[in-house]
Structure 1
Amino acid sequence: MDLKQLEHFMAVAEERHFTRAARRLNLVQSGLSASIRSLEEDLGGPLFNRSTRRVALTPAGEVLFAEARRVLAAARDARHAVTQVHGLARGRLSIGAIHGLAPFVDLPASLGQFRAAFAGLDIELTLDGSRALIDEVREGRLDLAFTQPPDTSLDGIGSHMFACEGMVVVCATDHRFAGASELELADLADETFADLRPEWSVRRLVDRSFAAAGLQRRTSFEVNDMPMLIELAAHGLAITIVPESVAAARKNDPRGAAVATASLREAEEPCWELAAVFKGSAGEPLIPVARAFLDLLKLPVIAT
């Protein structure tokens, strides 16, 4: 049993889904399954109940889940401690991020903790679209960017995937799709859509899903703000497709108009990926200050 096997186990345990975990790890599903089987053989029994669509932990898996989280956190803490010994007394941390990161990373709070740990560092933050952020990392203007991973591999650019979640349809509470499940993209093709602008990676992901299904759709509302996107759907002007966590946060917010959601068939459900992107290779940032910040975050970060 090694740290990578534990990381694989944690990804499946957190996603409750082998396909999503494999996407998050940037592994083929057969490779992930083989890694889990090897771990189960090493530990002498099954860790997952695979009889359901979304896998569940066995009692042994529940025990390992708590211990694996502790071990992986200790490994990050150890590297962080060594970084502090070597010293980051002076310098700069330049970070970029997309909008909509809050359900996964509380960036202001994390930057505050980092400043407390490394008071001599200057911190810079830029919010932008995913393409611009990746370009800035490649050109050395950003040390680290939290964004969708590049569509294709780029020389000298590495990433840590830390989220891969499904997307849901958001609509008004009286819409015919409200509360529906197992919708097909073809069911949505005649609807009016509200979308982010084309430079947003979320928009490109949805566009690619419809194109892959051979479908066209009508977008009548284009905005650069995800809360506005959901508000348009809440008032019955259109439907939209957003990550599950974004929709859940909006449904739990009493300040806005009520919204409803509907789920898509698993085979057609887009997977919204988030990654920390940096200069480096083999999943390891070249710049010590970027490594230190990732260690402090203690995200479910998996090297791609």
Structure 2
Amino acid sequence: MELRQLEHFVAVAEEANFTRAAARLHVVQSAVSATIKNLERELGTPLLERTTKRVLLTDAGAALLPRAHAALNAAQEAADAVAEVRGGLRGTLRVGTMATVGLIDLPALLGEFHRRHPGVLLQTSAAASGSQGLIDALLERRLDLAFVSLPGPHPMGITLTELVTSVLDLVVPADHPLANRGSVPITELAGLDFVDFPASYGIRNVADQAFAAASVTRRVALEITDLPTGVAYVRNGLGVALLPRPALADAADVATLTIDDTDLNWPFSLAAPSERTPGRAARALIAITHEFLIWRG
């Protein structure tokens, strides 16, 4: 049994498709199919059930998958240990981020990591489905770490390290009836049209939980995926919004109010799978993240 065979098997199992697995591995599909057939021949049993729509694991395949992951992780750890002795980390680190970060300077953070560990290839991706999509990618082993916002209980299988938090403030057009108020209770927001993120985003979850706790009905009229668009929609009278305070420092032609009678803290965390030990590169990024936050206050 070769590591290459296990790598191909894991890719097909996770993608549930030979074509996507081949693209992920940067090889032709016929090579993946041949490798899997050889592995099944060596083990004397089918590992995958091929259907017209998708590829499913057999009982033998389901038994092999966690052990294949463990073998590949152990091999990577061994290679990392040798590389570190030779003068630096090597390998690939897959990092997921929210489309909207805002609370930390992520490019500067990743740039510092790259300067310290130039031998590590950083692959970053943003989930269109928000933090929940990043958590799913971590659990499916498509990511090593992810910067997420997950208010409430921690999801199973995930370790969260809270990095920073921000209060969500109410943003209204400059000519809105509430514009001259410094603060407003959440009960006065019933009936207003809101601009907000999709339901899988952390900011949306914070707001939904706050309104539910106050038994106030809220209507989301427009959905966005980035902070500047939210401010622009509010500026043009399309609704009001709850947005993180640091993102509003330079917002023009809008008014910002606090909501003092409810919890509107938006957490920003670094997420890692709890069922497997992070590799050396992942641990290095975790350490640099904590250093970076201390440096930048």
TM over 0.5: same fold? yes
Deviation at 1:187?
0.8
- Hey, what does 2:216 align to over in structure 1? 215
Helix, strand or coil for the counterpart of 1:214?
A: coil
Runs of 4+ in 1 over 4 A off after TM superposition: 83-88
Structure 2 counterpart of 1:278: 272
Q: Does 1:109 align with 2:108?
A: yes
Corresponding residue of 2:45: none
In structure 2, the CA distance between the partners of 1:269 and 1:181, relative to structure 1 (3 Å rule), is farther
Residues 160-239 of structure 1 aligned to structure 2 (within 5 Å): 160-239=161-240
Between the two structures, name the one with larger relative contact order (CA 8 Å, sep ≥ 6): 1
Q: What does residue range 1-304 of structure 1 map to in structure 2 within 5 Å? A: 88-102=88-102, 104-128=103-127, 129-149=130-150, 151-248=152-249, 250-251=250-251, 257-265=252-260, 267-280=261-274, 286-297=278-289, 298-300=291-293
1:138-163 residue CA offsets vs partner (Å, 9 max, x unmatched): 22211110011364334442121011
Q: Distance in 1 between matches of 2:258 and 2:168?
A: 8
Stretch moving more, 207-216 or 154-163: 154-163
Question: How far apart, CA to CA, are the structure 1 residues paired with 2:181 and 2:85?
Answer: 55
Instruction: Please state how far the C-alpha of 1:273 moved relative to its aligned partner.
Output: 0.4
Unaligned runs of 5+ in 1: 1-82, 252-256
| C-alpha distance in structure 1 between counterparts of 2:246 and 2:277, whole Å | 28
AA paired with 1:95?
A: V
Greater CA deviation, 109-118 or 284-293?
Answer: 284-293
Q: Secondary structure at the match of 2:208?
A: helix
Output the amino acid matched with 1:204. N
Please give the per-residue CA displacement for 1:192-233, whole angstroms capped at 9, x wherever unaligned.
211222222211221121111111122222222321111111
The one-letter code sitting in structure 1 at the alignment partner of 2:137 is E
Q: Using a 3 Å threshold, how does the CA distance of structure 1 residues 149 and 288 change in structure 2: closer, same or farther?
A: farther
Name the larger-Rg structure. 2
Is the 8 Å Cα contact of residues 197 and 223 (structure 1) preserved in structure 2?
yes
The two structures have a TM-score, normalised by structure 1, of: 0.62
Q: Which range moved further: 284-293 or 190-199? A: 284-293
Unaligned 5+ segments in structure 2 are 1-82
User: d(CA) in 1 for partners of 2:86 and 2:181?
Assistant: 55
How far apart in 2 are the matches of 1:207 and 1:238?
Answer: 16
**2: CA distance, partners of 1:87 / 1:280:** 29
Measure, in 2, the Cα distance between the counterparts of 1:86 and 1:190: 64
Structure 1: distance between partners of 2:154 and 2:230: 30
Kindly tell me: are residues 87 and 180 of structure 1, through their superposed partners in 2, closer, same or farther at Cα, counting changes over 3 Å? farther
SS in 2 for 1:268: coil
**3-state SS, counterpart of residue 274 of structure 2:** strand
Distance 2:122 2:145 in 1: 12
Alpha carbons of 1:87 and 1:211: their partners in 2 closer, same or farther (altered >3 Å)? farther
* SS of the residue 1:122 aligns to: strand
What is the deviation of 1:276? 0.2
The answer (yes or no) to whether the contact 2:163–2:270 under 8 Å persists in 1 is yes
Give the secondary-structure state (helix, strand or coil) at the position aligned to 2:111. Answer: helix
Q: Which moved more, 1:157-166 or 1:112-121?
A: 112-121
Let me know the Cα RMSD of the aligned residues: 2.4
Q: Distance in 1 between matches of 2:185 and 2:150?
A: 26
**What is the alpha-carbon distance in structure 2 between the residues aligned to residue 126 and residue 167 of structure 1?**
25
Whole-angstrom CA distance in 1 between matches of 2:131 and 2:288? 23
Post-superposition CA distance 1:102-145 (Å, at most 9, x none) = 3x322222222222221221110001110010111122211110
Corresponding residue pairs, total: 209
Is contact 2:144-2:278 (8 Å) kept? no
Retained in 1: the 8 A contact 2:196–2:223?
yes
- Could you tell me whether the CA contact under 8 Å between 2:168 and 2:242 is conserved in 1? yes
Rounded Cα–Cα distance in structure 1 between residues aligned with 2:236 and 2:188:
20
